[in-house]
Amino acid sequence: MPNLFAVPNTDSSKHSSTHRHPKFIDGTHKGKYPEITTLYQLFMDNVIKNPEDYFLGARQCSKDADVFGHYKWISTTEAATIVENLGAGLENVFKVYAPDINPVTNQQPLGIFSMSRPEWMLTELAGFRYSKYSVGIWDDVETEQYESQINEADIQVLVCSIDKISRLLSRIEMMPKLKVIISMDNFDLCKPTVTSRVFSLDDVSGLHTMAKSLDITLFDFKAVIEMGKLNPTPPVLPKPSDYSMLLFKQEYDKVSTGILHTHQSSLHCSRSMYLSLDLGADVVHLSHLPLAKSFEHSVIYMLMFSSVCIGFHSGSSKRILEDMQFLHPTILVSLPAHLEELHGTLVSKVNDLYPKQQNNYYGNTRDSRHIVFQKSQWDSNPENLRMCPGIDFRLRNFPKKDYKVTDSPNPRGEVMIRAKSKFSSYYKQPEKTDESMDGEWFATGRSGTVTESTNEVYFRADF
């Protein structure tokens, strides 16, 4: 089967032919999962189909720092109950403390500031239940950068791990719009969190005293969930066109650019990834990449199209292999930089652990995030790449590199993408949004080449 399908009569002197996945030549998903139109519906569909399955889990830390035991799990049904009550509690918090609607999005942002963990996902899903969109604050940046993200996103309510609270309160004057901080870690536990630090009752009391003096309202997960139980609120479910998330892309000048995605675009991205794979049932995933960044976020929802068990890592790259030994994952998703970091303990074992199939995805935060992929059982030719289903691509003349689609022997140019998974807009930057678009097509700013040989069409992108 050819790697790409060239749509007839779509080329010109300015553009190459439009190319698609060879099994999805009409450019759609062929009616796959039409009843699911939002990420929240995808989650609830998983709950209905797999009510008792393990869904989210994390390793439990003992009172001895850095000593982690077995995974503790909640089922999809238990997750749905938490999401219902947490969502109602959050809605009450917004109504009382932060009722303002964001004038840019006409919705309310819900900030999430933590390493990837079950509470990250539960918070986002709870927000979705009331048409909030999540704003993932990067967990691995300097103080000025996460403050900039909180301010840029106009966040009034922020859910975070307990270790972040004192840092936030100590510089609260730099985040004047922030009104409510909710701890993912319950204040009465007084045991190690995923950060491996023990927080005593005195520590918690000090946080409350500091927050009160700064006129910041402080809750924990337990209190907000209880609030939702006592004050149940009818859900306000999102529409496909509603925003689902605001993601930040780090630019070379260290300025964070906000990028808005809708439920439709996010769902299309994850469904496209799912249709490009053969995962089967009963998938076990080790989540160790940041949920505040686009790739892992897309992967998590992609896996919800199957029956999936998501175990989160224990917070250190040094324990990834140990996490795997406890979890026994059937799929490992990572990035080149992370694999290089783990090379000594992990990469050398990957082929033994996962001999059946390897997939490389190429893309970026702003567009469909997964433009092409390559399977290991294909030949090693770096040009042997196939489009994901429901994604159109073509090349256009690229003066920056003096590439033309009329170049011989093969057309070269800037990679252009058209898909429902394309980002909605740059946050508060309409001019930049307009500059990145050519009609329906998103200009990636990256170059590519199409090679035709014996009925095979190869594509190489310089990502």
Beta bridge partners of 286: 311, 332
Task: Please check the confidence at residue 55 and state whether its pLDDT lies above 90.
Answer: yes
Domains 1-28+363-463 and 36-355 share a fold: no
pLDDT on residue 277: 84
Given the candidates 3.50.50.60, 2.102.10.10, 3.40.630.40, 2.30.38.10, the CATH classification of the domain at 1-28+363-463 is 2.30.38.10
76-97 vs 39-49: helix crossing angle, rounded to 10: 150
- The DSSP line for 177-246 is T--EEEESS-TTT-S--TT-----HHHHHHHHHHHHHTT-EEEEHHHHHHHHHHS-----PPPTTSEEEE
Give pLDDT tens digits for 302-336: 999 999 999 999 988 788 889 999 999 998 888 77
Rounded to an integer, what is the distance from CA 56 to the centroid of its chain? 16
Pick from 327, 332, 328, 275: nearest CA to 306: 275
Which structure tokens are listed for 226? 């209880």
Model confidence, pTM: 0.92
- What DSSP state is assigned to residue 257? E
Task: Please check the confidence at residue 159 and state whether its pLDDT lies above 90.
Answer: yes
Query: Of all residues in the chain, what percent carry a pLDDT higher than 70?
Result: 82
What is the rounded average pLDDT of the residues 196-209?
81
For residues 160 and 182, the answer to whether their CB atoms sit within 8 Å is yes
Task: Please check the confidence at residue 260 and state whether its pLDDT lies above 80.
Answer: yes
For residues 222 and 206, the answer to whether their CB atoms sit within 8 Å is no
CB neighbours of residue 41 within 10 Å: 18
What is the rounded average pLDDT of the residues 234-253?
88
Write the CATH number of the domain with boundaries 36-355.
3.40.50.12780
Which structure tokens are listed for 286? 């080790």
Query: Of all residues in the chain, what percent carry a pLDDT higher than 90?
Result: 60
Residue ranges of the domains in the chain? 1-28+363-463, 36-355
